[in-house]
Structure 1
Amino acid sequence: MKTPNKSPFSVLANEFLESTLNQLVHDHSIVQIFYKQEKNSTKSHLLISVSKNADAIKLQSKKWVAEVREQYQVYIYFIDYSRLEYQFSKGHPFIEYHCQQSSMIYQKEDSRSSLLINRNWKKYHKKFNRYEDTFHHDHKIHQLQVGRLIAENSYNSVFISYEKLIEYDLEYLEELFTGNRTFDIDLNKRINKLLIYIPELKQYFVKKNNHQYFITEIFDETKKSIEEDDIIYNSEMFDSLRIISDSLYTFISVRFYNLKYLIKKQYEKICNVDEDLYPIEESSKDMILNKAINRILTFAELEQIYFFHQTTYGEVKTYYLLLIGLNVNNEKIKAITHSLMSLFGTQYRFLLVGHDRYWIQKNLYQYQSFFVFIMQGKNLVYVSDQYHPEPHWETPHHPQHNDLYFYYKSTLRSSLQFYKLIDGEEGNYQGVDNIFALFLLSFCRTYIYAKTYYLPNYMTTEALWQLCIYADMDIHKYHYFFDQFSTNIFSFTDYNMSVHHSIAKVNTEKADQMKMIVDKLMQELKDALIGGQLLDDAEMGFRFEETDGSIINTNL
């Protein structure tokens, strides 16, 4: 009885993959297959040489290739033989490493073409050095071009040159990690493709959505400006682009080093790019915080949580958390806050600020001073992926209160309107509750913006007040007046931000309490703006009369 021929792919010890490759060599013109198993890792690699480039492109895009990679950690590379041979002649290190004679597990019997590398390092190292030197030489030329354009203040040209430099580096990374280069794809697709092999790249590119990145948006805007004969004055982004370029250069240098070592020594793994990264220290000692994070994650798929501030007044402890993720909208924040209140009662409170990463990136020109102090490693208490990118910080960043005067003016006019109502017809307080609510919200937003350069939207009154305390803890002294209010002032304010067709439930005592709060907070706002030299007296446009303490407008 004859023994059936043993499959050349049985070495893979994977029935599905063995069956797939048997079918592959039956249906296509496969020249050679090389197999590498990484040492001390579950990853392995199959380099498959085919006769035609069209077949290589078609097969690489097959769904089963991605499934094998995700399920079995087997990375498959289809390269047409003519390109393989050309890259071998150039000394391509990826080809040199993978196409060793000892790694070949299949070769077409009647093929006249075959590539088998069986030379030692002494014979190869000059080719390796030339290949690496070519990269460094061309990279340096791109860098010098960028530097020259920056010195000439050629803003649009700087962005275009940075795009070429980053594109060049990404193409080289693709060559070194796949042995091939994809042509005619844009920067977004190239980054996404490389993430398959280098997930660490995620930490250098802020996403606009699942398929696009912020930096490509900048490059597109630059091209549009050139077409319209306009200039983009956004030199603050140059440093972020430099960081991206330098990081890509580091990845390439490390990859060259690793391949050089592997070619010489075979399989010994050294020098990971991320070896200097430190793990996040979990706040295991704070059981309340950990419990809160677990509850928050049942409501939203977050990328990161930053615990950036904490206050304790009496028996109430408040945690300040920044939630970063998609669709962290106002309704979700309210739902999470309500759930945390149900879980912890009134002893522990949580101030939640929620944004997606792209929104933060797009608004750095306004709010960087707020976020840069929060989004630091020491504050990071949860991360879904270790490679989430930092925002591309503007360097230098020049914080400005562009619309502070208008926010202040709105707050001032709300206070003046409040006084007109409160001092109008005796005993008629209709509308006072609504205008007081408008004033308190306007005050909080203006005060936060003045102190932190951040303008919150769609937050409850209590959350805004907690942010005021974060902006300047000294303002908590006015909380005494809130406690003296006849009802919960935060619930009262939130309720009266909507119109209710009913008679106002305001009496003389409550009206006097409101008046005291408006007086104190307007004086505090004046001190903050003038004392901080944010607005001058002429812009402030009001003064306090000694007689009755009311605010008299002198400049409106």
Structure 2
Amino acid sequence: MMMEKSAHSNFAGLHDEVLINRLKQAARDGCLLAVYRVPHGIPGSERLLLITETEAAADALRTAKWVLKTADHSPVSISSLHRAERFFEVGNPFAYCYYRPSFLVWCQERFAGLFSNYAGGKAFKKKFSSFKESYYDDRDMLLSEAGRFYNLNSPISTYLTYITIFEHDLRYLEKLYAGDFYPDESLHTRITILIPYIPELQKLFVRQNGTNYYLINKLQAAIEVAHNDETYINTALYESIKIVERQLYNRVAARYIELKSAVRKEPGPTAVISPAREEQLDDPQLIIVRDILIKIAAPEEVFLFHKAETFQINAHVPATVYYLFVIGQRIGNTSIQSIQQAVAARTQNNVSVVILAHRRITVQENLCFPSAVYTADHVACQQDFFLIGHAS
């Protein structure tokens, strides 16, 4: 017992002396109740979790310069005691996964048994099921409303409902990734807060400037336009909104599975849950195309949306044609021609590629966000150029 008390009073496991001194000062100020250090892969990247006595103290810590500086290197989640306890009570798997005794590196002595009365097992499963279904039920209801307004040619109601759906998705992403939620902040701010936890959001929401995101601005501007024409709905915008919302939904669903699995495994202090293994590409010709694309164009993402075989070159040997949607910078006609020539030379004219290339900002500015292409099953390579899937 004495060893546990010592470990929880000297920030064991932390090695940054500047950070330790900042935490000690926050503890002396009385606003900090507990500090958790979650190792890499439980699940996600290493992070600090700070528990404060009041919501006001949590708000003050979130804007402290030393917290913001620490967050530049690894996520820092800050929550009040009341909100953390509430997450346990409603079955939010974030609380059960991250607020574990084995991750506790410091706490005030009067809170030595913090959260010890909350356990997993059947009680957690029942609460978790209710927490999860509340997201799905509310989303289904909102989508039904949006569809009804769309069929009634009511653009204002359609757009406003989708803003509510975005808020609903972001609220659950905040609860599941950040261990908190920020209903008083704008959609722009909430997306920015989530990006350190979910970097993929940068692909869905392109910045229009330092603080705003293009798609959100486009949606809000469409509401203003609709006041002058109460029957016109921008179909391209509507389809883009639906695609992005579906990606947010997929992220919530995946996070539920990820956290539930982590809670069930209940690793010890040094155990690490390996992230899900990404699917390897098994098409040798597409691997050749991938490598040439990386070398010549350095794309951000490549989507394979069609594959065909022809016999135009040799009546006995089929030639494969890959149709690719490429997102990246400065991929013009010259680069595309170089890629096509290199692919033909490397494969002895047995493979050719048809490439449609855009910058990411252009995709959203012109709403050319093809739903048939931009799905997880069609992603050919991402920023680290690791092949994770292809169209069947």
Q: Could you say whether these structures have the same fold, taking a TM-score greater than 0.5 normalized by the shorter chain as the test?
A: yes
Q: 1:67 to 1:354 in 2, by over 3 A?
A: same
Measure, in 1, the Cα distance between the counterparts of 2:384 and 2:360: 14
Match of 2:327 in 1: 324
**Matching residue's letter, 1:358:** I
> Aligned in 2, Cα 1:308/1:87: closer, same or farther, shift over 3 Å?
closer
1:79: Cα distance to partner? 1.6
Deviations 1:336-372 (A, max 9, x none): 8689999x99x9999976431332444467xx8xx88
Closer/same/farther in 2, CA of residues 185 and 312 from structure 1, 3 Å limit: farther
Label 1:379 to 1:312 Cα distance change in 2 as closer, same or farther (>3 A): farther
- CA distance, structure 2, for counterparts of residue 252 and residue 305 of structure 1: 23
Q: Is the Cα–Cα contact under 8 Å of residues 43 and 258 in structure 2 kept in the other structure?
A: no
Question: Partners in 1 of 2:145 and 2:273 — Cα distance?
Answer: 34
Query: How far does residue 165 in structure 1 lie from its aligned partner after superposition?
Result: 0.8
In 1, Cα distance between equivalents of 2:373 and 2:265? 45
User: In the alignment, what sits opposite 2:50?
Assistant: 48
| Residue of structure 2 in register with 1:117 after alignment | 116
1:357 aligns with 2:363: no
Take 1:32 and 1:378, find their aligned partners in 2: how far apart are those partners? 42
Q: What's the counterpart of residue 62 of structure 1?
A: 67
Deviation (angstroms), 1:161: 0.6
Indicate the residue corresponding to 2:317 in structure 1: none
1:21 aligns with 20
Alignment of 1:228-267 (within 5 A): 228-235=228-235, 237-267=237-267
1:35 match: 37
Q: TM-score if structure 1 supplies the norm length?
A: 0.51
Aligned match of 2:390 = none
Q: Equivalents in 2 of 1:25, 1:114: separation in Å?
A: 20
**Residue 198 (structure 2) pairs with residue 195 (structure 1):** no
Structure 1 unaligned runs (5+)? 70-74, 389-556
SS in structure 2 at match of 1:199: coil
Distance 1:322 1:58, change over 3 A: closer
CA displacement at 1:164 relative to structure 2: 0.7
Q: Secondary structure at the match of 2:148?
A: helix
Q: Which runs of 5+ in 2 are unaligned?
A: 1-5, 315-320, 388-392
CA contact (8 A) 1:304 1:384 kept: no
1:113-137 residue CA offsets vs partner (Å, 9 max, x unmatched): 9733234334545444443343344
The residue type paired with residue 53 of structure 1 is A
CA offsets, 1:62-112, max 9 Å, x none?
34322431xxxxx42122334334444444432243334444321124x57
Distance 2:130 2:78 in 1: 25
Give the whole-Å Cα distance in 1 for the aligned partners of 2:42 and 2:93. Answer: 21
Structure 1 residues 217 and 327: alpha-carbon distance in aligned structure 2, compared to 1, 3 A threshold: farther
Q: What is the deviation of 1:375? A: 8.0
Cα RMSD (Å)? 4.9
Cα distance, 1:175 vs structure 2: 0.8
Give yes or no for contact 1:174–1:180 (8 Å, CA) kept in 2: yes
What does the per-residue CA deviation read over 1:384-419, in whole Å, with 9 as the maximum and x for residues that have no partner?
A: 25799xxxxxxxxxxxxxxxxxxxxxxxxxxxxxxx
| TM-fit CA distance, 1:168 | 0.7
**1:190 Cα deviation from its structure 2 partner:** 2.3
One-letter identity of the residue aligned with 1:24: L
Instruction: Determine the structure 2 residue equivalent to 1:219.
Output: 219
Matches within 5 A, 1:47-446: 47-51=49-53, 52-59=57-64, 62-69=67-74, 75-109=75-109, 115-120=114-119, 121-201=121-201, 205=204, 207=206, 209=208, 212-235=212-235, 237-267=237-267, 278-280=279-281, 292-293=292-293, 295-297=295-297, 302-304=300-302, 323-328=326-331, 333-334=333-334, 354-363=357-366, 383-385=382-384
User: What is the one-letter code of the residue matched to 1:144?
Assistant: S
Evaluate the alpha carbon distance shift between residue 282 and residue 59 of structure 1 in structure 2; reply closer, same or farther with a 3 A threshold.
Answer: farther
For the residue of structure 2 that corresponds to 1:79, the secondary structure is strand
Cα displacement string for residues 207-263 of structure 1 (whole angstroms, at most 9, x for unaligned residues): 254765453133112221244354442235545544443443343344334434444
Kept in 2, the 8 Å contact 1:302–1:325? The answer is yes
How far apart in 2 are the matches of 1:40 and 1:112?
24
Deviation string, structure 1 residues 451-491 (Cα, Å, up to 9, x no partner): xxxxxxxxxxxxxxxxxxxxxxxxxxxxxxxxxxxxxxxxx
Equivalent position SS for 1:115: coil
Distance 1:281 1:140, change over 3 A: same
Cα distance between partner residues in 1 of 2:386 and 2:205: 11
- In structure 2, relative to structure 1, the CA distance for the partners of 1:190 and 1:282 (3 Å cut) is farther
The residue matched to 1:182 in structure 2 has which SS?
A: coil
Q: Contact 1:97 / 1:262 at 8 angstroms: preserved in 2?
A: yes
- 1:423 maps to none
Alpha-carbon spacing, 1:6–1:227, altered in 2? closer, same or farther (3 Å): same
Structure 2 CA distance, aligned partners of 1:37 and 1:8? Answer: 19
Residue identity matched to 1:33: V
Aligned residue pairs, count: 360
Distance of 2:290 and 2:115 partners within structure 1: 56
Partners of 1:375 and 1:138 lie apart in 2 by 25
Q: What secondary structure does 2:73 align onto?
A: helix
Deviations 1:27-71 (A, max 9, x none): 4432111233356878434321124133232248834322431xx
> 1: CA distance between counterparts of 2:296 and 2:194?
32
The CA deviation at 1:286 is 8.2
* Higher relative contact order (Cα pairs below 8 Å, separated by 6+ residues): 2
Cα pair 1:337 1:350 within 8 Å, conserved: no
CA distance in 2, matches of 1:305, 1:91: 37
Paired with 2:50 and 2:377, the residues of 1 have a C-alpha distance of 46
Q: CA deviation at 1:181?
A: 1.0
Q: Which residue identity does 1:49 align to in structure 2? A: I
For 1:235 and 1:159, the matched residues in 2 are separated by: 11
Distance in structure 1 (CA, Å) of the matches to 2:266 and 2:284 = 41
Report SS of the residue matched to 1:49.
Answer: strand
Distance 1:255 1:382 in 2: 22
Q: Is the 8 A contact 1:50 1:79 kept in 2?
A: yes
Q: Is the 8 A contact 1:280 1:377 kept in 2?
A: no
